[in-house]
Amino acid sequence: MQKDFDIIIAGGGLSGLIAAIKLSQSFKVLIIDPDSYPRHKMCGEYLSLEVEPYLKSLGVDLSKLSSVTIDQFRFTRGLKSLETSQLPLGGIGISRYSLDYELYKKANENGTFLQGRVTDVNHIDNHFQVIVGKEVYKAKQVIIATGKRSVIDKKLERPFIFKKSPWLAVKMHYDYDMPDNLVELHAFNGGYAGLSRVETGKVNLCYLANYDSFKDYKDIDAFNKEVLTDNKFLKGFFENAVPTWKKPIAISQISFEEKEPVEGKLIMIGDTAGLIHPLCGNGMAMAIHSAAIAAQQVKPFLNNEITRDQMLINYSNEWKSTFSSRLRYGRWLQRILLNEKFTNIAYTLIERIPFLLPFIIKKTHGKPIAI
Ligand SMILES: Cc1cc2nc3c(=O)[nH]c(=O)nc-3n(C[C@H](O)[C@H](O)[C@H](O)COP(=O)(O)OP(=O)(O)OC[C@H]3O[C@@H](n4cnc5c(N)ncnc54)[C@H](O)[C@@H]3O)c2cc1C
């Protein structure tokens, strides 16, 4: 196999695949991921429509992948439910199984995919060496798209990796009757769960829970039965929903700490640059958007029009001006919705000022990505 590339992308999730599709139109790209496709992945699977035109420009037509359009939002806690509100832009329900597979096929049309795990990246004599097992690959620039946490974060000694994070997440698909155009967010003691339909007709239950509230229960089933059902709407869900997988997917140590979009001379995209709280439903759009920004900034560097340092400054500045305020609003929204006292005040406020919730949701989302 060829070993010398313009760009190597570590990680073939959403952000890595998008960067590979875009950059392989003009450059020699290698994308590396340990997974084979299709595969399920932790996610609420609500994709904001702000990415639709950009995906279309890459030849990915979302309307062909899913007919589930979601434009309504409902929040509940305990016995209470807020009035359903209109989502400012809306989204579609699409499984990561289908979406990532579609992108993977597209990325393979011009680029090269390698199944493997990147264990180290070194910058030597103005190029990069990327280590995958015993093999060494060479590139002019490397983009890190390895998601929430990886061995690369450890190698780079990124501060967030040394802090224990209390968050774990669980996901499962069910047969369940709910409106196609609705995404529901149900708070429970120590976490919240999202419910919405995906293109297969199944309903995705995906929740984030604090480890302290989870650790006293022997398994996910017990936790679901004992804790999630303190919310009467989730109780109703578990009484009627039929799981369609043998086992749920679960991950732990999900960190929402601030990160930097550039580390040393490496460009970080998607969750490696920053993870917005999942209740905002904007992580996938941010991953796609950050890949678009990276591709735009890398191009003039590879064409020898700007220096590497200039490219890194440009990327970092653009990333921060695009996403910093979204992340701030996301942290703020999570604090309010997870705190029982705040939630009650927020309930009263939102009931009195109906446009407040759509306004806050809008602040955690972006405008359609410029092509
Ligand atoms: C509970 C939960 C619910 C969510 N719900 C939603 C939602 O409804 N809507 C939404 O928009 N966002 C949601 N998100 C956020 C969204 O899932 C992420 O923001 C998005 O997947 C980020 O994409 P990414 O490319 O950065 O990372 P990922 O999609 O996680 O991809 C990272 C890839 O890197 C690979 N990798 C890891 N280590 C290495 C290595 N060493 N070498 C090579 N490859 C490696 C992995 O195998 C993986 O394929 C949710 C997140 C959580 C935690």
Domains defined along the chain, listed by start: 4-163+255-363 (3.50.50.60)
> Which string of b and e fits 73-91 if b means at least 16 CB within 10 Å?
bbbbbbeebbeebebbbbb
CA 38 to ligand 1 center in whole angstroms: 14
Q: What are phi and psi of 262, to 5 degrees?
A: -130, 130
Closest-CA residue to 7 (of 18, 15, 20): 20
State residue 77's pLDDT score: 84
Ligand 1 atom at minimum distance from 100 CA: 29
**Residue identifier of the C-alpha nearest atom 31 of ligand 1:** 13
CA distance 130 to 139: 8
| H helices, E strands: number in the chain | 12, 18
**Residue identifier of the C-alpha nearest atom 3 of ligand 1:** 43
CA 137 to ligand 1 center in whole angstroms: 24
CA neighbours closer than 13 Å in the CB half-sphere of residue 119? 7
Please write the tens of the pLDDT for every residue from 119-171. Answer: 999 999 999 999 999 999 999 999 999 999 999 999 999 999 999 999 999 99
State residue 343's pLDDT score: 67
Residues with pLDDT less than 70, the chain: 340, 342-343, 354
Which residues, at least 6 apart from 78, have a Cβ–Cβ distance to it below 8 Å? Answer: 187, 230, 231, 232
How many residues can be counted in the chain? 371
Ligand 1 atom at minimum distance from 46 CA: 8
Please write the tens of the pLDDT for every residue from 265-321. Answer: 999 999 999 999 998 889 999 999 999 999 999 999 999 999 999 999 999 999 999
Q: What is the DSSP letter of 256?
A: -
Ligand 1 atom at minimum distance from 269 CA: 26
Ligand 1 atom at minimum distance from 275 CA: 19
> Which string of b and e fits 319-331 if b means at least 16 CB within 10 Å?
beebbeebbebbb
- The two tokens of residue 336 are 């309010």
State residue 333's pLDDT score: 80
E-strand stretches of the chain: 4-10, 29-33, 46-48, 69-77, 80-81, 85-93, 112-115, 118-124, 127-132, 135-144, 167-175, 182-188, 191-197, 203-210, 242-243, 249-254, 262-263, 266-268
State residue 242's pLDDT score: 98
CA distance 255 to 55: 28
The residues lining ligand 1, judged by C-beta closer than 6 Å to any ligand atom, are 10-16, 32-35, 42-47, 117-118, 145-147, 150-152, 169, 194, 206, 208, 254, 270-271, 275, 278, 281-285, 287
